Amino acid sequence: MKISVIGTGYVGLVTGACLADVGNDVLCIDVDEKKIARLRAGEIPLHEPGLDAVVARGVEAKRLSFSTSYDEAVAHAPLIFVAVGTPSGEDGSADLSHVVACARELGRRITRDTVVVVKSTVPVGTNHRVRATLNEELVKRKAGVKVSTASNPEFLKEGFAVDDFMRPDRIIVGVDDPHAADVLRALYAPFNRNRDRLQIMDVRSAEFTKYAANAMLAVRISFMNEMANLADRLGVDIEHVRHGIGADPRIGPHFLYAGVGFGGSCFPKDLRALIHTAEEAGEPAEILRAATRANLRQRGILVDKIAHHFGGKLAGRTIALWGLAFKANTDDMREAASLAIVDGLTKAGAKVRAYDPVAMDNARAILRGNGAVEFAPSARAAADGADALAVVTEWLEFRSPDFEWLAQALKAKAVFDGRNLYDPATVRAAGLTYFGIGRGGA
């Protein structure tokens, strides 16, 4: 199929590259000329394992190309994906200005029957607004063509996006007419060979499914963090509890890891948008609000533990920070817990020496105004001579450090494990003091 994708951010680039990888002819466009220039030069503007190889294959096979032109996008394909950003507005609602502007630009140009698919995460009712905007522009031009719209939300985990797209656990498609359903069923046939993952439903339900999924996962994380904080007070090891409840098939083992809170481009933003939607609908959304409050509190837990250990006196202390990205296998710093931790430590008078395998450039851009932050070239360089170590992101290279070396390198011999990566007994056996999240009984 010939496909155009509007937007070359995280969702758009992964979608376009993966669709090209199974044989489609894909044109990705973006209004950011610098980004398109980088993509044409073979540079990937974000860190996502495996994506560079997929893009390179598509470009080499001439199945994947890049442009800044809406005219080219409309001329290229009768199937167009909208994958532009929907950032949070001041009131927490999803800012749909980019989505609506995209629909207007398409409506001004479409000259044949076309299916427009909204891939962006959008509130219930957005597809109706997109369709109205398209039709408004088509009527102005007396175009006389039929444009169908569909909702096809993404369920990609940062760090595993390529695999998630190529081997999806479900493909949600929301449609109001059979033609759009047939087109998308054919498009996703290569991903349905061993079992049918396609779930076709009405548009509003598809839009809501995305928000409900992210909200459920965010609530699980906040619930486990709240249990971990209680476990600390009761002398309970939350890791034992995690294994115990995760063995229940009604609960399962996923998203039960206590830590320093969730971040990134999805969970915080989507919770805010869903709460705003609930407010407009007259629902209190008490669980969603509680999950959000719990997450904001959790971002300060590690700072509280560090301050308590040092008797509230952090001035003159240097804290090594391992990990800056909001999670491993990404360079995404959006709403990363590390930012709140750095802010809390430096406001208390401490210096921070930080290291992350891939997010250093993004972190420098955000933290360049904070003179108390230093960036180290390696994990060891960050820790050497620091008073204590705080582990913030669960990168693979942090999983099994040399604890005996750390005991010599850290002046105060203290490790604050914000991801519960380590066995407390092993750390203590090396002569270190260990603090985890909910490891009160360890």
Give the residue numbers annotated as catalytic, written as ranges: 266
Let me know: does 386 contact 409? Beta carbons within 8 Å: yes
Does the CA dihedral 310-312-313-317 come out positive or negative?
positive
> What gap in Å lies between CA 237 and CA 25, rounded to an integer?
53
Is the torsion defined by CA of 371, 373, 375, 381 positive or negative? positive
Amino acid, single-letter form, for residue 122:
V
Q: What share of the chain is helix, strand, coil (3-state, %, to 5)?
A: 45, 15, 40
Helix H segments across 299-347?
A: 301-309, 337-347
Q: Is 288 helix (H, G, I), strand (E, B) or coil?
A: helix
What is residue 118's three-state secondary structure?
A: strand
> Which positions ≥6 away from 176 have C-beta within 8 Å?
148, 149, 202, 203
Inter-residue contact 225 to 298 (CB < 8 Å): yes
Angle between helices 301-309 and 337-347 (to 10 degrees): 30
